[in-house]
A and B are shown apart, each in its own frame.
Chain A
Amino acid sequence: MTQYDLTPAISKHLDKHLIFPLLEFLGSKGLYDVADIEAAKLALIEKTNMVDYAVDIYQQLNQTDEVPESLRQRRGEVVAKLKSLEGAVKPITDFLSNEENVKLLKQDKTQNMTFLQKEFNIGPEQVDALYHFAKWNFECGNYSAAAEYLYHYRTLSTHPERTIASLWGKVAADVLLQEFGSAMDDILKLKEMLDVDTFAPVAKQLQQKAWLMHWSLFVFFNHENGLNALIDLFMQDRYLTAIQLTSQHLLRYLAVAVVVNKRRRNVLNDLKRVVSQEAYEYSDPVTEFVRCLFVDYDFDGAQEQLAKCEEVLDTDFFLVAAKDAFMEAARQFLFENYCRIHQAISIKSLSEKLNMDEEATEKWIVNLIRNARLNAKIDSKAGTVVMQTQTQSAYEQLLERSRGLGLRTLDLSNAVFGAMRA
């Protein structure tokens, strides 16, 4: 199953800290050797400042109690740096710790700066220090502090690039704190900022879009309205282009989101196209399922892929929660499409296709019919489902087609006469 594991591909676009949850998840699934995962974690953590965590992992990995000298030394450095930064931001943290003071701040940032300078002797250096302090806190794994400081930094900072950077930091911190509501807001803010920034080099824009999409996965699959937002984001021209260019593996998430989200049937056509276009560069059971079902009408193939999908989703950090919904929706898609082109289907073969026993299949179909999702009848003697062909009569078609005409003409004439009168 490791061939469909996207962790390596995704990790390239993530912050170091954001990879930990993925690794944790992989560890729990037992897809890889536990020692390998722990080693990977250690390698990752050595680049951050989470020294205590590193020590833990080291001890676990090597089954010892001793602390390596390098790490101990490192700990000293980190703490010292933290202390020195703390000193630098003291005035500003003092200021911010008082609720009343925060209320004094206005919308206008330059005005705020002069105000702070005058009243509290807080200059740009302190604000900068706040940024670095937040970053250091983040590196140390102190996410809640980092998130808070970054929030304040954003209200104070006038430096455009740092503002964006702080927003990235905020998103990461929120994700790691599992505060998906605020993370969602920040993601949208970030997106706006990136959209505005059209002067950056194309490569950079592309990279940032790819990052945004990867980071947003954490949010979208955990937020209640996330899938809708995911479709909105990924289906935008620019982002779709970015997917096609740099990170085709995101198509899996897009496909899942579209399949699960029944209300957004209209994006299905776009998905079909993109998936079949990228088939030569990226394919996994999920995209293959989409391709088989919607492009090739290969129901057997789709069935096969669907079985694989179950496993794939099970080992995917983001999709594991959506697995059941996806399976259900996919099955329904399969069935719907199948019914659409058939006039009679034997329940037996249907049960094979749907991977259920005959009894359950019949029940399932009855439910569908009852909910008016399927216009069919069951011929229990022959053991078949007979579809009611819903051919429109010529008369109906004619009506359908000329329905809007009257209204549109009226609108037109109103527009014309309205313009004349005005």
Chain B
Amino acid sequence: MASKFWAASSSDEESEDEAVTSSEGETSSDDGTSSDSGSSSSSSSSSSGSSRKKGASRFLMGSSDSESEDERRVVRSAKDKAHEELRATCNDIKNKMHINDWAAIQTLFDKLNKQLERTQKVTQSLGVPRAYIRMLCELEDFLSKTLADKPKLSPTNTRALTRMKQTLRKHNTAFAEQMRLFRENPVSETEEEGESPSESESRDESGSERELNTEEEEEAKFKTVRTGVVQRPKDKILSMDPKEITYDMVQKKLQEIAMARGKTTRIDRQEQIEMLTYLSGVTQGPVQKVEILINIITVTFDMNQPTQASQEHACPEPTNALYPLNAMTVPNWNRCGQTMFDIMSLLDENRHISLTDTPPEEEREEEPEPGTPTQAGIPFCTPCFLLSCCREWGGGMLLSQVWGNLGAFLERLDDEWNGSLKALDPHANEYMERLKDEAVLLALAQKVSEYLEAQNELDKLAGVALKRIQHFYYKTDVVYGAMRKLALQQQQDSADAAAAAAAASPALDAEIVDGDEAEGATGKRGTRRPLARVVYAHGNDNQKGQAMLCTVYFRCIRDDFYGGRDALLMSRIQEQTGQLDAKMQVLYNRTIAQLGLSAFRAGLINECHQCLMDLYGTGRVKELLAQGIQQHRFQEKTPEQEAAERRRQVPFHMHINLELLESTYLISAMLLEVPAMATSQSTDLRKRVISKPLRRLMDNYERQSFTGPPENVRDHVMAAVRALATGDWRRSYQFVTALTCWNLLPQKEAVLAMLRHKLQEEGLRTYLVAYGRFYSSLSISQLCDMFELPENKVHAIVSRLIADDGLPASHDQPTGTIVVHHVEPTRLQTLAGTFSDKASLLVDLNERALAMRTGALHTDDDDGEGRRGHDGGQGGRRTRVGGRMGSGGGFGRGGRGGRGGRYGDRERGSGFMPESGFAGGVFGRGRGRRGQAAGQRDDSTYMQLGSSFSSRRQ
């Protein structure tokens, strides 16, 4: 603290200091102290002086003195402290120099260098304090002197001396220029410095302080002068007759407020806004009015800077987990929205005003404010209305460029809206209330995009279009209709209360309706398409990707699975999921989830499973979809990570219902897994696990000694799995339908009917595979009764089982039965079979090893593949082109899916899966390995002796 230092130093120094200051600039100093509110005692002036910082910011400081003194001290103390420490160390070194204690000097010198670094960090400048340079000079001089004198020193000291000599030589080269300047003119900046060399130690020391302080004194004077000038009209302007207020006065006031930006007191802001609101009422022209309105917005944005600031600086207060959520208050938000509408209408009326987003060039470097939100490159807080430059371009009515970025304002407004939604309890009424504001936002966005289109600012237009897409894409027709109705209703209400309502509010609502009606006329699909097109045409890659994903999402919730999937594959975005930023990844995951849901609704179980598999494979669904924080047992998150995750969260109204998603996934997994399990049980084939999570659940379930009636989704599905595994599809269906989440589906009936049908089919398959071998013949009509399937369906399923999946049976058409020719192999035969398999595996491995050696692996690999086909590997040759679902291949049944994607080679590596979320790379690699392993296992697949169909299948 500055005061501490002053307390430590002797009082006569203080008085000297005073004297020096007055000698420097008597006139200004007098002015300054007098205008300071009465406290003109020497101590207070020196304290305020010492707390001045150097640099360009002195000009900024001056505008308003409504900020409290305390505030200022807190801000600067760290810097001063660093300076003081630096100086104290210098003194120490000097003391040691007197006693020729080189060992101590050496340690102190190291300390000094560290302090210098810190000082530079604190002051955020690369300059070196003069005290430091002087120290270096003195050290150098003293060193050469000592070396010349060769005094008697202790061995440690001698060693230290030589070391010091070397370090100093090396070290000083970096500062050679500054030292030279210093030596040339040691007194140039501080008059009293001239005396110092001959003076005593204490004298010297105080001189060094003064050299820093004098500058600050100057600033203080400067500041107070400014304050004096600007101060007076402030009070006047409020009390003045509005007619007398001139353009200049308003302009000046505006500048003053603009310059006060970046301060962190709230009360201050409130006043400013009031002031600005008043000003906007008395402005002299539209240009100025727009300026003022823009200022109102920026100031309002500044009011909750702490939010932004803490987001910026990773985490200054990690304990406060809630901080990203304290968004703008609703009244403030409303005011911003209102002001935006005002600006828009002003701009509409005055076409000559144009907004630029490059503030006038600034020579002076600002002291970086802690709260400057530089996030997303939005230059909100760059103070632009500085005295000098403002006059240049704001002075006349002819120049009608106003600084401001509507797109950015809109974006910020949107962020704040989202932020406040995240902070609210989604089940409370306020959340609903807040949601209603979306209409305002959308109407505003429409206005802005119309304006931007007129101004031909296409890149910004793309940004706004994307924002609008982001508000539309997750809404189904029903939701959209409800929203429109609400907007209309609001208008009606305000019409009723027109007399009472403020003049602006009906206008605002009218605009909402205008906006919505324009959208409504073309239909929602109609709106989104052109918007997306705008983004594709003008956006950057990231924006295009987002728009793309939104489009896919949108199609998915409209049951256009194929359209969505093709669009997604066309974008080839799945190849780069690893490189996307977290926000995009979340969007991608959401899209994939919706794709899965739509596949399920369409009855495409396999596709659904492939989509959702990766989301559920990790067990981190909530995190991947950014719909809540999941706690992990084995992995602690740092507060930063947690904060980042919190910020990523999707507002509640956009959530994908997790219960529905989970049931969808588990049921689709069940439909695929249960028949596969039955096959592997009955034929001993070690088949691939289709769904790991389901298997895990089943293991857990089986380990329980007592199982109660099902309660949650998993219990239900597990019970269904148990029932289905015995072919009891009716019970299975009962369990599945007992899930409540189906009510969320608008097409519940259709989906349940689809499920029923699927369960019947899969039940039949499971039943035949699991119990077929215990029959010698089965009557088809009986099977029809059991599974309530039509005869031709049963026939088709059985045929397929026989032909594709190796059921050892055949139809007997005249009697309408299925004859099973299962022959249990004897023990010896089984063992012989195993043995021959092992032998062929051995040969395979040997060949492979040799190929590896000779480097002919590549061609050999292909051979191996071909042979595998002939040897009767499951499902014939590995498919070349592959299913369009890409990665599905290894996991699809019988290899029918294929490995590559629709696009052949290009897609093979990456496949379709979300490299989900944040574990992207690892995920991908793991996946690759698994695929390979599966392939290898295929080699060793043990063909059962009784199955005679492997050769036929080729």
Contact = CB atoms under 8 A, between A and B. Distances in A.
Given A340-B952, A343-B819, A391-B948, A241 B800 contact: no
Interface string A269-281: 1100110010011
The 10 A-B residue pairs with the shortest CB-CB distance in the complex, in nearest-first order: A297-B799, A343-B810, A394-B829, A342-B811, A391-B948, A394-B945, A237-B904, A341-B802, A345-B813, A402-B836
A78 B880 CA distance: 51
A343 B819 CA distance: 8
B209 interface: no
A349 B813 contact: yes
Nearest to A265: B954
Nearest to B814: A346
B846 interface: yes
Interface string A302-345: 00000000000000000000000000000000000100111111
Nearest to A407: B843
A398 to B, nearest CB: 6
A346 B879 CA distance: 37
A277 to B, nearest CB: 6
Interface stretch (B296-304, B728-736, B895-903): B895-903
Contacts of B825: 394
A300 B823 CA distance: 31
18 contacts: A241-B903, A245-B903, A273-B898, A277-B884, A280-B562, A297-B795, A340-B802, A341-B811, A342-B812, A343-B810, A344-B814, A349-B813, A384-B814, A391-B821, A392-B948, A394-B832, A401-B943, A415-B854
A218 B903 CA distance: 27
B881 A240 contact: yes
B207 interface: no
Contact of A245 (B823, B837, B839, B902): B902
B951 interface: yes
Contacts of B289: none
Pick the most buried of B792, B840, B843: most chain A CB atoms within 10 A of its CB: B843
Given A337-B803, A394-B945, A405-B839, A343 B903 contact: no
Interface string B892-926: 00001010001111000000000000000000000
A401 B493 CA distance: 83
Contact of B803 (A241, A341, A349, A419): A341
B763 interface: no
A359 B812 CA distance: 22
A83 to B, nearest CB: 48
B229 interface: no
Contacts of B798: 341
A245 B946 CA distance: 43
B948 A390 contact: yes
Report, as a range, how many residues of chain B touch the other chain. 35 or more
A189 interface: no
Interface string A349-363: 100000000000000
B55 to A, nearest CB: 55
Contacts of B832: 394, 398
A244 B951 CA distance: 30
B608 to A, nearest CB: 15
Given A273-B896, A401-B836, A402-B840, 4 more contacts: A237-B905, A299-B799, A341-B802, A344-B814
A17 B850 CA distance: 57
Given A270-B880, A341-B802, A401-B871, A300 B792 contact: yes
Contact of A412 (B562, B814, B843, B952): B843
A103 interface: no
A341 B276 CA distance: 87
Contacts of B948: 390-392, 397
Contacts of A270: 879-881
Interface string A384-399: 1001011110100110
Interface in A24-52: none
A312 B850 CA distance: 54
B877 interface: yes
B237 to A, nearest CB: 65
A56 interface: no
Contacts of A343: 810-812, 819
A281 B837 contact: no
A298 interface: yes
A273 B883 contact: yes
Nearest to B876: A269
A238 interface: yes
A241 B904 contact: yes
Nearest to A395: B829
B40 to A, nearest CB: 78
B174 interface: no
A382 interface: yes
Contact of B839 (A296, A384, A402): A402
A2 interface: no
Contacts of B879: 269-270, 273
Contacts of A409: 843, 846
B562 A281 contact: yes
Contacts of A408: 843, 847
Contact of A241 (B799, B810, B814, B881): B881
Interface in A45-91: none
A297 B811 CA distance: 13
A419 B854 contact: yes
Contacts of B903: 241, 245
Contact of B836 (A280, A296, A341, A398): A398
A295 B165 CA distance: 89
B828 to A, nearest CB: 9
Nearest to B809: A341
B393 to A, nearest CB: 47
B796 interface: yes
A3 interface: no
Contacts of A245: 902-903
Given A297-B800, A341-B799, A384-B814, A412 B847 contact: yes
Nearest to A295: B800
A401 to B, nearest CB: 5
B379 interface: no
Contacts of B884: 244, 277
B814 A416 contact: no
A400 interface: yes
A107 interface: no
Interface string B853-897: 010000000000000000100001101110110000000000010
Contacts of A344: 812-815
A266 interface: yes
Contacts of B945: 394, 397-398
A343 B808 CA distance: 12
Nearest to B792: A300
Contacts of B951: 392, 400
Contacts of B819: 343
A181 B313 CA distance: 75
A419 B851 CA distance: 12
A299 B813 CA distance: 13
Contacts of A340: 802-803, 952
Contacts of A298: 792, 796
A244 B902 contact: yes
A340 B505 CA distance: 78
Interface in B749-800: 792, 795-796, 798-800
Contacts of A238: 904
A240 B802 CA distance: 30
B821 A389 contact: yes
B881 A274 contact: yes
A264 to B, nearest CB: 13
Contacts of A402: 836, 839-840
Interface in B127-181: none
Contact of A342 (B810, B821, B952): B810
Contacts of B883: 273, 277
Contacts of B651: none
Contacts of B833: 394, 397-398, 401
Nearest to B877: A269
